[in-house]
Amino acid sequence: MSTVTVTLPDGSTLEMDAGSTVEDVAYEIGPGLGADTVAGVVDGELVDKHAPIETDVTLEIVTPSSDEYLDVLRHSAAHVFAQALQREFPEATLTIGPWTDDGFYYDVTDVDLDEDDLETIEVEAQQIIEEDYDIERVLLDREEAFERYEDNPFKQDILETEAAGEDPVSFYEQAEFYDLCQGPHVESTGEIGGFALLEISAAFWRGEEENDTLTRVYGTAFPTQDELDEFLENRRKAQERDHRKIGQEMDLFSIDDTTGPGLPLYEPNGKKVLNELSEYAAELNREAGYDEVETPHVFRTELWKKSGHYENYVDDMFLLDVNDEEYGLKPMNCPGHATIFEQKNWSYRDLPVRYFEDGKVYRKEQRGELSGLSRTWAFTIDDGHLFVRPDQIEAEVLATVDIILDTLETFNLDYTVQFATRPEKSVGSDEIWEKAESQLESVLDEQDIDYVVEDGDGAFYGPKIDFAFEDALGRHWDGPTVQLDFNMPERFDLSYTGEDNEEHRPVMIHRALYGSYERFFMVLTEHYNGKFPPWLAPEQVRVLPVSDDNIPYCEELRDELGEFRVEIEDRSWTVGRKIQQAHDDRVPYMLIIGDNEEDAGTISVRDRKEREEKDIELGEFRDHLETEVEQQRTAVTFLAGR
């Protein structure tokens, strides 16, 4: 019998008979590990513990203490939901039900569900969990599998695509319920300690709008009820901070179906925030030696074919036919920047060349994936592209990481860092990749940055450093990135004349400080709960006259604060109502002006934390606000610093 080599996470290896299962390997390591085995990660793919190993592989054993265990548990929870659904609504047709980062979903059809039905289904699901049914893997021949689903075209589609050629076919069964599935799953339904159904939405089969419309039910599950309770509390807090809710309350942005999905409209307040973000990024770029460029929103698709994006992005591009020529709204800015660099002859002395642009790009995401500002059809990237000599990579990456760290500090955002290395499919020589990876890792080590190595997760054109924002609720969002690119210079035949008078190929560095303005705006809105720091707030000061007689003096104060964003609340409301409205609008500072203040030529200052100080000279307040805004920091506010 032939053998296979199994490489374990610590680098050690085992020789096993071909066809041995993940569980067999675990028992070979030790009986305790074998008994605890839930699943395995084979060559990066989560698989059932009964999966046979036929070739040399890398293997990680999944136990209840593994990070992957939660994915397995939630996959089983999706089956519990489906079983409960069919008990309560036998007419329901099942399609697919995968786990997600936050739980699971299951797409169904032939049943009319609303939010009220979730409680009924959840009660039945809890009963299934309490019954602690064994979850068993069953193999059926293809003919029997098709017979089981003779009335379910969606499962037949799966049999003809994902399960094409499989014979026998894998099913999982629990009591009367069965589902076509590759797994993995936990041993029994009773392992699910906390289970909840969350919401309903619409979806399309396979995510394609021309396909059948389905009902998607979202849920979540945890090993314990306490973990579920913590999740639900954090979810409640997240809903309170939802940027769509705050955006409406503060008149920041809107998305109107009449203008098209995923196309945000920024109202005056929202545009003020965007302007501040843009000016801040531009200041950092200019200080770092970047030149600002601008590229059009649409190009001939020849450019995207030249860059290689057409073959990868054509399905997500908005294409236009103009005089029998094909054009496309740009899905990214880098080919335009490469074309600008291409226009000139460069010497080694000219490099690095650094361009930046707030470039609007367009990607035709599926409608079901669109969500507020987190995923849109039109978004703006604070793009930067550098063209450097190979010997300049480390210094330029180090400078870029410094800027990113300054940005994160400015917005008081925690972060995590991933270092992604060469994938299996890539361009460029081994020597270039090894040097590039070494240089990126050296920068991270020099900055004493904690990071996780994501082996093989780099772009095909080069390794990268990715930063993920961590907001006030501990959620992570894709953010800044630094990427090395050996592919684009090759495709565009970019060159510079070296010291040896020979032509050399530059390396291109892609970087973004925010990622995209839309997602960053969303992150900040939820991170601050709409209480933007004064320098960023759409309205920095609101003047509240006690009576209409005080309005002329209030107008004088507004004029004196002309360099700031100041409004006067001149509606005929009580002072208490005006203060409450300013709090609801999340205005950083209120100036309360009555006869006493007007007679003394002073102001009373109140902030969002309800701290108040009377008899303040306007000049003192203006000087502090000016310093606060110039420093672009949130650490010290006017009243806290007194």
* Binding-site residue ranges for Zn(2+): 334, 385, 510
Alpha carbon of residue 372 to chain centroid: 12
Contact 382, 517 (CB under 8 A): yes
In this structure, the dihedral spanned by the alpha carbons of residues 84, 88, 91 and 94, taken in order and rounded to 10 degrees, is: -20
Contact 115, 218 (CB under 8 A): no
Give the burial class of 212: count Cβ atoms within 10 A of its Cβ; 0-12 exposed, 13-18 middle, 19 or more buried: middle
Q: What is the Cα–Cα distance from 316 to 208, expressed in whole angstroms?
A: 12
Contact 551, 600 (CB under 8 A): no
Contacts of 214 (CB under 8 A, 6+ apart): 95, 107, 108, 109, 202, 203, 204, 205
Contact 72, 181 (CB under 8 A): no
Measuring CA to CA, which residue among 594, 593, 586 is closest to residue 621?
593
Q: What is the Cα–Cα distance from 182 to 400, expressed in whole angstroms?
A: 44
Contact 546, 593 (CB under 8 A): yes
Contact 23, 36 (CB under 8 A): no
Phi, psi of 344 (to 5 degrees): -120, 160
Contact 467, 481 (CB under 8 A): yes
For residue 532 the two structure tokens come to 């933007």
Q: From residue 274, how far is each of 225, 370, 379, 403 by CA, in Å?
A: 41, 21, 12, 19
Amino acid (1-letter code) at residue 252: L
- H-type helices in 161-267, by residue range? 225-240, 243-249
Contact 220, 253 (CB under 8 A): no
Give the helix/strand (H/E) hosting 394.
helix 393-410
Query: Residues within the annotated binding site?
Result: 334, 385, 510
Helix (H, G, I), strand (E, B) or coil at 95: coil
Q: What is the Cα–Cα distance from 633 to 629, expressed in whole angstroms?
A: 7
Phi, psi of 137 (to 5 degrees): -85, 130
Give the burial class of 210: count Cβ atoms within 10 A of its Cβ; 0-12 exposed, 13-18 middle, 19 or more buried: exposed
For residue 347 the two structure tokens come to 């010497």
Using the 8-state DSSP alphabet, how is residue 368 labeled? G
Which H, E and C letters describe 18-37, residue by residue?
CCEEHHHHHHHHCHHHHHHC
The neighbouring-strand residues paired with 46 are 41
Give the helix/strand (H/E) hosting 221.
strand 213-222
The neighbouring-strand residues paired with 459 are 462
Count Cβ atoms below 10 Å from residue 46 Cβ, excluding itself. Answer: 19
Q: For residues 322-338, b (16+ Cβ closer than 10 Å) or e, as one string?
A: eeeeebbbbbbbbbbbb
Contacts of 478 (CB under 8 A, 6+ apart): 466, 468, 469, 515, 519
